[in-house]
């Protein structure tokens, strides 16, 4: 939200691995109610989240189960923290769906050990490095590379056996990925990215729907 006051705010170390704002927590609570009311809580087989603090908080806040809460010292919402594993789908962290990398400290992640202590219900086994080796202080990831990473993520997503998957990610990453996916599926029937061509529009529209919902959550 500080970025609305000017792009220079995004360079501040104060916002390293930015957490959800109070407004963001309110939006998470509202979205959780919508997901529960729609019956999606029972339908979703897997939640995939970017391994940044704000998306981890969102994934647990929206899709986490019932159980005892804890506070973690990083502006956690006490009723929406990460200990619960009852009545919820598994949540796994995947590096491929991170926000655009580099320069902005808010897009640099913490160590996996620290995340483990904050989010014991999330599976971090797919994260290969303890520390963030992808983020560069002096180079912003080109949009073309964000798109390529997004398409790699989509190819990996198609290999999953689960039928209903929720993805918690970021605005720039989702925008680049969805634009590329739509263009690819409209211009040529790419069987690798669109193997279920009859339902591609349905899948894309649902993906876009949740993108629009989650995009509003503020860090």
CATH code, domain carrying 171: 3.40.50
pLDDT score, position 8: 81
Residue 107, C-beta contacts closer than 8 angstroms, at least 6 positions apart:
52, 98, 99, 100, 101, 135
For 104-122, how does the pLDDT look when each residue is reduced to its tens digit (9 = 90+)? 999 999 999 999 989 988 9
Q: Give domain status of residue 174, yes or no.
A: yes
Measure the CA–CA gap between 53 and 59, rounded to whole angstroms. 10
Please choose, from the candidates 79, 24, 85, the residue with its C-alpha nearest in 3D space to the C-alpha of residue 55. 24
Token code pair at residue 34: 């919508």
Structure tokens at 169: 């990610």
Residue with token string 């690819």: 184
Dist. CA 150–CA 59, nearest whole Å: 19
CA distance 109 to 142: 19
Q: pLDDT class for 206, splitting at 50, 70, 90? A: low
Residue 173 lies in a domain: yes
Mean pLDDT confidence for 175-185: 82
Cα–Cα distance, 150 to 35 (Å, whole number):
25
Total tally of structural domains belonging to the chain: 1
**For residue 196, what are its two tokens?**
């279920």
Q: Higher-confidence residue: 33 or 214?
A: 33
Q: Tell me if 52 is assigned to some domain.
A: yes
- Cβ of 109: how many Cβ atoms within 10 Å? 25
In a domain, 25, yes or no: no
For the whole model, what pTM was predicted?
0.81
């Amino acid at each position: 939200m500080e970025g609305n006051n000017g792009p220079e705010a995004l360079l501040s170390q104060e916002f390293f691995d930015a957490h959800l704002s109070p407004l963001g927590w309110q939006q998470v609570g509202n979205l959780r109610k919508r997901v529960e009311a729609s019956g999606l809580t029972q339908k979703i087989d897997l939640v995939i989240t970017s391994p940044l603090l704000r998306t981890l908080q969102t994934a647990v806040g929206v899709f986490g189960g019932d159980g005892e809460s804890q506070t973690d010292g990083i502006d956690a919402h006490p009723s929406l923290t990460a200990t619960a594993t009852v009545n919820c789908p598994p949540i796994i962290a995947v590096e491929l769906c991170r926000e655009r990398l580099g320069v902005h400290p808010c897009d640099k992640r913490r160590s996996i050990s620290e995340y483990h202590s904050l989010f014991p219900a999330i599976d971090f086994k797919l994260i290969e490095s303890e520390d963030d080796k992808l983020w560069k202080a002096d180079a912003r990831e080109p949009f073309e590379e964000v798109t390529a990473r997004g398409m790699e993520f989509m190819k990996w997503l198609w290999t999953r056996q689960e039928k209903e998957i929720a993805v918690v990610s970021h605005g720039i990453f989702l925008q680049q990925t969805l634009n590329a996916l739509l263009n690819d599926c409209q211009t040529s029937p790419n069987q690798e990215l669109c193997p279920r061509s009859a339902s591609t529009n349905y899948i894309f529209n649902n993906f876009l729907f949740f993108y629009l919902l989650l995009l509003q959550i503020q860090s």
